[in-house]
Amino acid sequence: MVLGTLMGALDTTIVLLALPTITGSLSTTLVSSIWVILIYLLVIAVTTTQLGRIGDIYGRGRIFNLGFVVFTAGSALCGLSPTIWFLIGFRAVQAFGGALMQANMGAIVADTFEPNRRGRAFGYTSIGWNAGAMLGIVLGGFIAAFVDWRYIFYINIPIGIVATYYGIRYVRDEKKTGSRLDLLGMALLTASLILICYGAIDITGLGVTFINASMIAAGAILIIIFLIAEKKVPNPMVNLAVFKNRVLTYSVFAAFFQSIGYLGVAFILIMYLQGIRGLDPFSASLLLVPGYVISSLASPRMGRLSDRYGARIIATVGILFMMATILIYLQLTVASSLYIVLFASVISGIGASMFWPANSSAIMASADPQHYGSVSGLSRLMSNIGTLASFVIVLTIASLSIPRQTAFSVFIGTSSLIGNVSTQFLTGIDWAFVISLVLLLIGALLSYSRGHENRAKTRPHI
């Protein structure tokens, strides 16, 4: 589980620092290169719920291990890409492998550990996420500067081979539901998410147009049709009855708002450090490393505390720490000490270590064992859509004061701003911070209002 999380996190951050090099090497445009990041987010957001459902039917361990194989093969193909369009296509393959793992990971943890031990288990998977994000920052900067950019993908091959071996050896199928796939539901949800996500991404690059607004509206209509259809089929892809559980519902939506608010903060901060302070992407990202280190060290301990005392208080306090981080960032000026960023990074790391293990274990503790896969996929779906939405919101709001093309250039570190332009951009960044703060407040309210989950020990530890 930790290796799978590490691989996914590694490729979330490692590509960002290499985008300028990729753009030059493949003789393409900045807007095209941005899709190397966006296609990964889009595919994972669209497929996680369906793949969790497939895991319920055909075996969660089997689907999870297939994810290692697909992700590793996709990584090799990305490294061999002759053009930007091949790279974007193979990134979609890589993302599909990541979605196979993400969608079933929570279900496998729930199958393997009884409810009063899952917080600790999710704490260890959080180590994989933070270690992967750190390695992505360090290795991405080093490889982009001193080695061929293709090795940011080749590095996954030995990890994937080792992970596949241990996955086949240790990750077994606990349960299968034996029910059939809901093909109509899968088609409706996939179409709706593609329309909504693609329309939102298009807004980031072009602003609001009739076409992208229509795509989002059509996607929203399909969501309504999907919900109606799910009530009438015998084996729905998403069993809407799970939302009758208050703890599960509030926990899923707390994760959604936390993802939109918190993950957007990292985007905004990197834009500040690169666009206003003039740091290169590698140096800017290194300032975030202390937060990842703290989160890695503290996550297992926080997970154990959530096993003992429940997720409600621990997860909520975690979001409050993240909100405190944003309040610190709102004090940044064009000449602030960068030690402020380091201090805030530590605060955010503490918050992340408190929220994710506790919230994830609360979701799975409230799910029916027969629906572990679909609930795990639904949880990842909401978080992944939140990640994608955070990217869209941040770039859209922060670039209101400067041209979007300039904002893209700042984000990947190919340009910095001076004089009045930097002051104007700081205003846009502050507004993006404020929006993130409001979104996190909603997440905190949902987290606190969830109630207490059942953490009773239900069966012997496997």
- At residue 7 the predicted structure's pLDDT band, cuts being 50, 70 and 90, is confident
Q: Show the tokens assigned to 144.
A: 């982009």
Task: Indicate the Cα dihedral angle 15, 136, 412, 27, nearest 10°.
Answer: -30
pLDDT at residue 382 in the model: 82
Nearest to 436 by CA among 392, 374, 382: 392
Which tokens belong to 167? 């996955």
What residue segments make up the domains of the chain, in order of their start?
2-181+235-448, 182-234
The size of the chain, in residues, is 462
What percentage of residues in the chain have a pLDDT greater than 70?
A: 90
Return the H-helix or E-strand segment holding 185: helix 183-206
The predicted-structure confidence for 132-161, as pLDDT tens digits, reads as follows 877 777 777 677 767 888 998 998 899 899
Please say if the pLDDT value at position 448 is more than 90: yes
The half-sphere exposure of 107 on its side-chain side, counting CA atoms within 13 A, is 39
pLDDT value of residue 458:
46
Q: Judge contact between 33 and 23, C-beta under 8 A.
A: yes
Q: In terms of CATH, what superfamily is 2-181+235-448?
A: MFS general substrate transporter like domains (1.20.1250.20)
**pLDDT of 162-175, one tens digit each?**
999 998 888 877 66
How far is 429 from 334, CA to CA, in rounded Å? 12
Residue 454: pLDDT band with limits 50, 70, 90? low
Q: What is the pLDDT of residue 462?
A: 37
Residue 442's CB is within 10 A of a number of other CB atoms, namely 17
Look at 282 and 443; give whichever has higher pLDDT: 443
**Residue 459: other Cβ atoms inside 10 A:** 7
Comparing 84 with 200, which gets the higher pLDDT?
Answer: 84
Q: Which residue has the higher pLDDT, 421 or 106?
A: 106
Quote the CA–CA distance of 102 and 104 in Å, as a whole number.
6
Predicted pLDDT of residue 111: 82
b/e map 70-82, b = 16+ CB within 10 Å? bbbbbbbbbbebe
